[in-house]
């Protein structure tokens, strides 16, 4: 059987393709280690490390990156933006089930963090009935 992480990445990419976006999708485990990475042929060269960074950031801070973008506007929180490997752009989403964080998914390459996040959430929705990470 195919792993949930593979299915989530494929569903996220399919959602972006349907919208006409060439992206990279990265799925990480709860430790932030990459389990799956898919890159569309014409996704930007920046998109693999950015997708990975978004997923890692969501897992590391136990928060979706869109929420972290808003939180780090406050002067007391702006230092988070300078930490190594942190990518504070929308498109990094936690994968959760049963009150536990199982991993994260990051998408990069769509025009804007909102579009990246929509693709990431579509990937999670595709596995919501499985989540056997």
pLDDT by residue (tens digit) across 61-86?
999 999 999 999 999 999 999 999 99
Calculate the average pLDDT of the chain.
Answer: 95
13 vs 99, 100, 122, CA distance in Å?
26, 25, 9
pTM: 0.94
- For 35-55, write each residue's pLDDT tens digit: 999 999 999 999 999 999 999
What's the half-sphere exposure (Cβ side, CA atoms, 13 Å) at 21?
24
Q: Per residue in 5-25, pLDDT tens?
A: 999 999 999 999 999 999 999
How far, in Å, CA of 68 to CA of 88, rounded? 7
What confidence tier does 133 reach under pLDDT thresholds 50, 70, 90?
A: very low
């Amino acid at each position: 059987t195919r792993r949930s992480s593979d299915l989530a990445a494929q569903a996220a990419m399919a959602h972006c393709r349907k919208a006409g976006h060439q992206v990279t999708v990265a799925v990480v485990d709860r430790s932030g280690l990459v389990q799956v990475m898919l890159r569309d042929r014409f996704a930007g060269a920046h998109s693999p490390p950015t997708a990975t960074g978004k997923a890692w950031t969501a897992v590391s801070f136990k928060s979706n990156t869109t929420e972290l973008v808003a939180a780090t506007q406050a002067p007391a929180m702006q230092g988070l933006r300078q930490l190594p490997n942190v990518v504070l752009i929308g498109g990094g989403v936690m994968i959760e089930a049963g009150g536990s964080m199982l991993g994260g998914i990051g998408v990069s390459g769509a025009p804007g963090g909102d579009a990246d996040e929509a693709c990431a959430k579509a990937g999670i929705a595709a596995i919501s009935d499985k989540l056997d990470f």
